[in-house]
Structure 1
Amino acid sequence: MRLAGMTAIVTGAASGLGEATVRRFHKEGARVIVADIDLAKAEKVAADLDVDGKTAKALACDISKSEECETLIDEAEAFFGGPVDIFHANAGVAFSGNLLEIAPEKIERAIQINLIGAIFSAQAALRSLSRSEKPALLFTSSLQAVLGRPGRSAYTATKHAITGLVKSLSLEFGPAGVRVNALAPVGIDTPLLRDQLSRTTDNVDARIAAMADNLPLRRMPTPQDFTDSAVFLVSQEARCITGQTLVLDCGASAGIAEPRTR
């Protein structure tokens, strides 16, 4: 119950890491908004958390539209009866492929959602967070915030930009007491990742094991690893931590790991 009495919004919360995080925030005692572009899925998550709708509510939001971000905050404040304490800017889209072969629309979408959407949603949230007594703004970033990767150019650019955004916002809103941080995970063993891998291999478990073997700790992070870190960063246990990107990568960014000898 480390978030007891607090209010929280998670974007992209109808599935994946966003859903895992909003569930964890609720379990830790926070009243939550399950925000997602897919309202039907968000409503299922919110109803599963609280069928009476007193501690969890679903709201639709396309973070690439500033007016929808503003409406999200207005409706959240009405539900909470006060300002937002925690805002987790988690919504995003993937991007892969050789830059010379990617359609301009796909590049624009990655930038519009992963960067501009993050800025729009943070802008709206900060108007409310600045009035909270224990405000925390958390972004979901990626290992590509600190390292490059072939075939992920536009995605990598947006995540590098989030690192700079976190630093600037921490300086700009620190005097108001707002802490701003990001979580930057390597690939996480989720049903979504397994589904993606199943399209290119018949042995998903072997592929996951091979990916884990390339990491110094010989394991991949799990959704619980992610939510453990998220709860820490938005809680008062991290009250002196701001402007940081916490890399959740099982050692991948430390250097080149020695291959496992079998």
Structure 2
Amino acid sequence: MDAKTFVVVGGTSGLGLAVARQIGKDHRVAVLGDVPDEVSAVAAELGCTGLVCDVSLHEHVRAAFAEVVDRYGVIDGVVTCASVWAGGDLLELPPERIRRAVEVNALGTTYVLREALYHLHRQGFGNVVYTGAMAVVKARPGIPVYRATKSYGASLVESLAEAQHSNRIKVMQLHPGPMPTRLQERVGAEFLDEIYALPEQVASEVVRLLLLAPDDLYVSNELVLRADGRW
């Protein structure tokens, strides 16, 4: 199988890192993250391209995608896993935490999808996978801002998927439940379900979507729910 090129946004930890490890075994990977030391460490571990990118800044996202295209010519797929946690009662959340969640989870997702689709349209094919959260589907107390920002991403993907008018460019979304990741450590054990999937298990589903061929059956806006260990 010919090697393809994939961009993993938020690929330095958790689900993003698990995706990069799996798909990087047979394909070229560019990992994007906002902490330079973490990007360097993952690039060294996987032997892949590592790019420092704060997704809340459009110029960062545009430059990162342009560099990937400059190096490899095409982008076969993009998965966006970058996310900022904002848990707690709205009245207790510091304004700066609210702003950062909106900047990364909403604006950052918008910028990544904008640049991804620009390049996929230019070349005429490719897959995009948005990683949301089960919180979008089922409301949970204590996370109003986080849920709202992830719901924004889901709504954006639904509209973009319908706008492609071609199965050669697939825009899909996956909503995992809580997983034992670094983000989950920040969240706290009270938000971890009794039944859950490991990042490596959910990553397999992300990789399946990324590897869909342009002429595969119509799956744009395919929605994978309960990627959390349940049947």
Structure 1 and Structure 2 fold alike (TM over 0.5): yes
Match of 1:45 in 2: 42
Following superposition, the deviation at residue 75 of structure 1 comes to 0.6
Match of 2:118 in 1: 127
Match of 1:179, SS?
strand
Match of 2:24, SS?
helix
> Residue 13 in 1 paired to residue 5 in 2?
no
The number of residues matched between the two structures is: 228
Structure 1 or 2, whichever has the larger Rg, is 1
> Residue 249 in 1 paired to residue 228 in 2?
yes
CA distance in 2, matches of 1:229, 1:160: 21
Query: For the Cα contact (< 8 Å) 1:73–1:124, is it kept in 2?
Result: yes
Match of 2:203 in 1: 227
1:36-75 alignment to 2 at 5 Å?
A: 36-50=33-47, 56-75=48-67
> TM-score if structure 1 supplies the norm length?
0.80
Q: 1:34 aligns with which of 11, 19, 31?
A: 31
Match of 2:166, SS?
helix
> Residue 145 in 1 paired to residue 136 in 2?
yes
Percent identity (aligned):
29
> TM-score if structure 2 supplies the norm length?
0.90
Following superposition, the deviation at residue 13 of structure 1 comes to 0.9
Structure 1 window deviating more from structure 2 (174-183 vs 153-162): it is 174-183
Deviations 1:202-239, CA, capped at 9 Å, x for gaps = xxxxx96xx32xxxxxx311112111110111112765
The one-letter code matched in structure 2 to 1:249 is D
CA distance in 1, matches of 2:59, 2:186: 34
Following superposition, the deviation at residue 175 of structure 1 comes to 3.0
Following superposition, the deviation at residue 83 of structure 1 comes to 2.0
Structure 2 unpaired stretches of 5+ = none
Following superposition, the deviation at residue 69 of structure 1 comes to 0.7
Query: For the Cα contact (< 8 Å) 1:11–1:36, is it kept in 2?
Result: yes
Query: For the Cα contact (< 8 Å) 2:13–2:182, is it kept in 1?
Result: no
Q: Which has the higher contact order (CA 8 A, sep 6+)?
A: 2
Query: For the Cα contact (< 8 Å) 2:15–2:200, is it kept in 1?
Result: no
Change (3 A) 1:157 1:196: closer
CA distance in 1, matches of 2:41, 2:137: 35
Query: For the Cα contact (< 8 Å) 1:145–1:161, is it kept in 2?
Result: no
Following superposition, the deviation at residue 59 of structure 1 comes to 0.5
Following superposition, the deviation at residue 196 of structure 1 comes to 5.5
